[in-house]
Amino acid sequence: MFFHIYLERNMQLHPRHFGPHLRDKLISKLIQDVEGTCSGRHGFVVAVTAVETIGQGLIRDGTGYVTFPMKYQCVVFRPFKGEILESVVTMVNKMGFFAEAGPVQIFVSNHLIPDDMVFQSGDVPSYETSDGSVRIQKDSEVRLKIVGTRVDATEIFCIGTIKDDFLGLIGNPGGGA
């Protein structure tokens, strides 16, 4: 799920950036630092949308670096149990398959794949129905439901299922439906 939230961060800036573009430098450094990171609490920071305030800088003893408290608005993505996501398959093995939904990695174990789909090893490992009408392989697009999340301080990992109504293959590799 996506959220638009306020976050705060203390940015440290080297004195060489002090000048007319200090503010721009701060903002670009902030974006560079936080976009794409993940915190267990808020999820993945997708994009910084606005910088709300930049507080008074504070010179740090001994180094000359200056710390600016910054408050900014950003879009975060945090997966939840029970959430439905659309994802792209990245790897298939006999234990199940891995998929990605944006920055989140999801593992679907084989017992959460419908019973009529069986693992086919070979050049391109896949799960497919006996009549071959449905085939999940690398780069397939799959709709899945999250059944478990593992949230660490800097990492979020999910496990999903496609064993439910309207879940499963939604697009073949190369964009064909």
Partner 1 sequence: MSSVEPFRKLVKLVARAFYDEEIPPKGANRSKSDKSDNRGIAVVILDALTRRQWVKEEDLARDLRLHPKQLRRTLRVLEEELLILREHRRETVKGAKIYNAAVAAVSEQPTEREGEEKPKVHTHSYCCLDYAQVYDIVRYRIHRSKKKIKDELEDRNTVQEYICPAASCGRRYSALDALRLINVYDGNFHCELCDAELVAESDKLAAAELGDGDGEDNARRRRREKLKELYDKLEKQLRPLMEQLARVKDLTPPDFGSLEAWEKKAIATGRLAGTDPSTSDLSKPSHGQGPTGTPMPFLGETKVEVALAGGDSKKEEEKEEAAQLKVLPPWMIRQGMNLTASQRGEITKQEVKGEDGVSPDGPDVKDVKPADEDKEEVQRKIQEEYLKAYYAALLQRQQQTEQQAAQPVTAETPVAATDDEEAGERQVGMKAKRDASDEVEGEEEDEEVEWEDATAAEPVDTTVASQDTSFTNGDVPDTAPDAGGEFDDDDVDWEEG
Residues at the interface with partner 1 (CB under 8 A): 91, 93-96, 98, 105, 107, 109-112, 115, 125, 145, 147-150, 157, 159, 161, 163
- CA–CA dist 74, 131 (Å, integer): 47
Judged by beta carbon, residue 102 or residue 125, the one nearer partner 1 is 125
CB 165, min distance to partner 1, A:
13
CB 76, min distance to partner 1, A:
21
| Among 63, 56, 53, 65, residue whose Cα is nearest residue 8 | 53
DSSP state of 153: S
CB 132, min distance to partner 1, A:
19
DSSP state of 94: T
Judged by beta carbon, residue 4 or residue 81, the one nearer partner 1 is 81
| Among 174, 177, 175, 164, residue whose Cα is nearest residue 83 | 164
CB 95, min distance to partner 1, A:
6
Q: Where would I find the beta strands (DSSP E) of 16-155? A: 38-39, 43-54, 58-59, 66-77, 84-93, 96-101, 104-109, 117-120, 126-129, 135-136, 141-151
Q: Give me the amino acid identity at 103.
A: P
Judged by beta carbon, residue 110 or residue 172, the one nearer partner 1 is 110
CB 143, min distance to partner 1, A:
15
Q: Is 115 helix (H, G, I), strand (E, B) or coil?
A: coil
Judged by beta carbon, residue 73 or residue 110, the one nearer partner 1 is 110
